[in-house]
Amino acid sequence: MTGSPALSRQHFRLLPPPLPEPRGPLSAAVTALLRGSGPGSVPSPDDCSPYGDDLQLALYVLYELHYQGFEDVPDSLEWDSGLLAVRGAIENRFLGALRADVPADDTETAEQVLDELQLEPVGDDGSSVSYFLQNEGGLDHVRAYAAMRSLYHLKEADPHAWVLPRLHGRAKAAMVAVEFDEFGGGRADEIHAQLFADLMEDLRLDTTYGHYVDAAPAEALATVNLMSLFGLHRALRAALVGHFAAVEVTSSPASRRLAEAMRRVGAGPAAVRFYTEHVTADAVHEQVVRHDVVGGLLEGEPHLDADVVFGIRATTYLEDRLAGGLLDAWREGATGLRGDGWI
């Protein structure tokens, strides 16, 4: 690719990826519909595990129509009524499972739950990916983790931007301020998604957007789908704010450990920088999000407090599922990725 260095570094978002390989009848039907060769009917998502490979991939594919799209798939399908109906049924299955599995306590407030998240464990309790990578992970673990998380970090701030027209006053102003930082403060080479692509280059990973979809387990797809689910529905705007708050509150200490992991395995300066940037930035963002985004939202719409709590709890639940699967795989000598040859 020719052009300026800054433009060349952004190639990972210039082209839509190919459609991923199906993982079951539901995702096979969805991808066939996008290719224009769909079946007469689509299997019911009620017959799928809500957190399983088939359903999560089908939902991921449908959500990607609102982001980068796919190679040889018409952009006009983004708002195709038939596909939206399929997506709605899959979303209902996913959201219903989350509401059933995430504990609801009418006495909890968003402030209390965020206070709870801020309490760092005294040490490694064996359930933390960042502690594992800091203390005992090798270069292959770091590379597998980065490949998997690329589905999230190469679109890091995008789904949260959907909440902006749904916020008002102090909450909107504060959210824009934090998103401005996430999008590089006006500098293309400082966009956090670009910084993650730089990290991937240090780790000798393919930075092409969507390259590792076929490698990502269902647990990783679910963490990405959650952002899109919350972002695309105005009714879930407070849950998206809760998701954003959960990420910002927990990011700084985890990023400190991950920066140390990158140094320890010799991952390279760009890999270290991605996490050191988040140590500093997210420590500031945490306070802005808590007091001005969440606080501003609930000041104007106090009835949404329970939805903020749900967003926080659902985020933690899915991140814990991903961490558990990864740590189990690593302790058994596997990469945690689907199939071989990815790293």
- Looking at the structure, do residues 86 and 211 belong to the same domain, yes or no? no
38-97: pLDDT as tens digits: 777 899 999 999 999 999 999 999 999 999 999 999 999 999 999 999 999 999 999 999
> For residue 104, what pLDDT is reported?
83
- Looking at the structure, do residues 173 and 320 belong to the same domain, yes or no? yes
Average pLDDT over residues 204-232: 97
- Looking at the structure, do residues 169 and 312 belong to the same domain, yes or no? yes
- Looking at the structure, do residues 305 and 167 belong to the same domain, yes or no? yes
> For residue 4, what pLDDT is reported?
41
> For residue 122, what pLDDT is reported?
57
- Looking at the structure, do residues 66 and 159 belong to the same domain, yes or no? no
Q: What is the CATH number of the domain that holds 301?
A: 1.20.910.10
> For residue 275, what pLDDT is reported?
95
CA 61 vs CA 27, 30, 35, 192, 321: distances in Å: 8, 8, 12, 23, 21
**Is the pLDDT reported for residue 3 higher than 50?**
no
From the list 162, 196, 195, 161, the residue with the least C-alpha distance to 179 is: 161
**Residue at 338 is within a domain:** no
236-282: pLDDT as tens digits: 999 999 999 999 999 889 999 999 999 999 999 999 999 999 887 76
The tally of domains found in the chain comes to: 2
Q: What b-and-e string marks burial along 191-222, b requiring 16 or more CB atoms within 10 Å of the CB?
A: bbbbbbbbbbbbbebebbbbbbbebbbbbbbb
> For residue 257, what pLDDT is reported?
96
> For residue 39, what pLDDT is reported?
72
Last residue of a domain, one of 71, 101, 131: 101
- Looking at the structure, do residues 96 and 155 belong to the same domain, yes or no? no
Q: Exposed/middle/buried for 302, CB within 10 Å: 0-12, 13-18, 19+?
A: exposed
> 213: domain range?
110-331
> For residue 7, what pLDDT is reported?
42
The span from the CA of 276 to the CA of 274, in Å, is 6
**Residue at 341 is within a domain:** no
The span from the CA of 136 to the CA of 140, in Å, is 11
> For residue 11, what pLDDT is reported?
59
110-143: pLDDT as tens digits: 999 999 988 776 567 788 999 999 999 999 999 9
Last residue of a domain, one of 79, 101, 123: 101
DSSP secondary structure string for all residues of 207-238: -STTTTTTTS-HHHHHHHHHHHHHHT-GGGHH
Last residue of a domain, one of 50, 82, 101: 101
Residues 236 and 310 sit within 8 Å (Cβ to Cβ): no
Query: For residue 133, which amino acid is it?
Result: L
292-324: pLDDT as tens digits: 999 999 999 999 999 999 999 999 999 999 999
**Longest distance between any two alpha carbons in the chain, whole Å:** 58
- Looking at the structure, do residues 18 and 38 belong to the same domain, yes or no? yes
